[in-house]
């Protein structure tokens, strides 16, 4: 009989204060997750954790969770294990925003104590409502941006008789050097892991390399540049 291939998984642990650490928060979470992984034929290939971080804090305040997302982008792991839902977040809105990141990556987040995939949660009407509201707000913001751009193009056309669209990154002088730097960071070193889009964005911000608009680099911008067809 052929040996069953184990699906690879990452784990995320979080404690909010010194009291939880002293009470064995990390070991307890790790043991619950380990037992679940063993029972469900999952191979744990990495552990990420945030210490002293409240469950109401968003992603930008969680270095461990951000690093976990970078790992997924670079290595394609499809399962993340947490001890229970509140280890990911205690605030429902924060939880849904974070889970949205995992959904976009096609990753399941499973609570080991209840064997529930938190990225679905379609049986929870409150989560479903929040997801729909977030989606509606996102669509509204996108529509507003489209209308503003369309109005700007019309104004330009009336003034000059012509209107050109937004130039792709690399069109203006100096941007080719930045693209070269991005590709250098993305190139996989021999025997090492490739940098994720979020890590590259963080690196460019640390190096004080400006974006065209002056806002900080984001993983979305990096992905757009690296995946754009010539």
Each of the 230 residues of the chain gets a pLDDT tens digit; together they read 455 678 999 999 999 876 555 556 899 999 999 999 999 999 999 999 999 888 888 777 888 998 898 888 778 789 999 999 889 888 888 888 888 889 888 999 999 998 888 888 666 777 677 666 765 665 677 677 777 777 777 777 777 766 555 677 777 788 889 999 999 988 877 777 788 888 898 889 888 888 887 778 888 888 888 888 66
- The HSE-up count of residue 36 (CA atoms within 13 Å, CB side) is 25
What pLDDT is recorded for position 4? 64
What pLDDT is recorded for position 82? 96
What pLDDT is recorded for position 9? 95
What pLDDT is recorded for position 13? 95
Query: DSSP assignment, residue 216?
Result: P
Q: What does DSSP say about strands 116-117 and 79-82: parallel, antiparallel, or unpaired?
A: unpaired
CA distance 208 to 173: 18
CA distance 218 to 197: 8
Phi, psi of 198 (to 5 degrees): -65, -40
What pLDDT is recorded for position 175? 87
What pLDDT is recorded for position 10? 96
CB atoms within 10 A of CB 127: 17
What pLDDT is recorded for position 43? 94
Alpha helices in the chain (DSSP H): 18-22, 25-39, 63-75, 85-88, 92-104, 125-160, 175-186, 197-206, 219-227
Question: Helices 175-186 and 219-227: crossing angle, nearest 10°?
Answer: 90
pTM score over 0.85? no
| Token pair recorded at residue 189 | 């070193």
């Amino acid at each position: 009989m052929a040996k069953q291939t184990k699906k690879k998984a990452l784990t995320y642990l979080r404690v909010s204060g010194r009291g939880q650490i002293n009470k064995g928060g990390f070991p307890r979470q790790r043991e619950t997750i380990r037992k679940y992984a063993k029972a469900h034929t999952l191979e744990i290939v990495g552990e990420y954790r945030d210490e002293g971080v409240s469950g109401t804090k968003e992603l930008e305040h969680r270095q461990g969770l951000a690093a976990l997302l970078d790992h997924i982008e670079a290595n394609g792991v499809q399962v993340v294990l947490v001890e229970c839902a509140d280890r990911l977040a205690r605030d429902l809105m924060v939880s849904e925003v974070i889970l949205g990141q995992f959904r976009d990556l096609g990753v399941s987040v499973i609570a080991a104590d209840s064997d529930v995939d938190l990225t679905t949660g379609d049986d929870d009407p409150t989560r479903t409502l929040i997801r729909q509201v977030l989606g509606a707000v996102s669509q509204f913001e996108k529509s507003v941006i489209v209308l503003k751009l369309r109005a700007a193009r019309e104004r330009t056309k009336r003034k000059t008789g012509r209107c050109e669209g937004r130039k792709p990154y690399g069109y203006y002088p100096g941007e080719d050097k930045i693209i070269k730097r991005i590709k250098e960071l993305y190139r996989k070193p021999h025997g090492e892991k490739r940098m994720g889009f979020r890590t590259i964005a963080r690196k460019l911000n640390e190096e004080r390399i400006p974006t065209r608009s002056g806002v900080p680099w984001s993983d979305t911008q990096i992905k757009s540049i690296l995946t754009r067809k010539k």
